[in-house]
Amino acid sequence: GAVVSQHPSRVICKSGTSVKIECRSLDFQATTMFWYRQFPKQSLMLMATSNEGSKATYEQGVEKDKFLINHASLTLSTLTVTSAHPEDSSFYICSARYGRAWDTQYFGPGTRLTVL
């Protein structure tokens, strides 16, 4: 099946620093990539949708200046959490979709961010 990778898998940073998370589709070209956030024992909440070469579309309540998304190529999207604070600690999951159908969406393994 299609493979999506994320790097790093875990990151611990100090409050006020910025953290970049990479999401790559390894064996397909992704027309669309998504970024989700998941708190413990809670569901996935969509943060933003990005298409290669265009600006990301953020969900209501997600600060675009805080969560910078860059989708530079058909296989790479990055999420930068700027000036991170402890409340940003969460599990961030990306997904990549190669077609229009939602069953062509594959999820990455997630990145655990801990802000001290």
CB atoms within 10 A of CB 24: 19
Round to whole Å and give the CA distance between 102 and 87.
30
Which part of the chain contacts other proteins (CB under 8 A), choosing from 14-22, 42-50, 68-76, 82-90? 42-50
Q: Residue 11 interacts with other proteins (CB under 8 A)?
A: no
Q: Residue 14 interacts with other proteins (CB under 8 A)?
A: no
Q: Residue 95 interacts with other proteins (CB under 8 A)?
A: yes
Which part of the chain contacts other proteins (CB under 8 A), choosing from 12-20, 44-52, 69-77, 81-89? 44-52
CA dihedral 34, 31, 9, 112 (to 10 degrees): 0
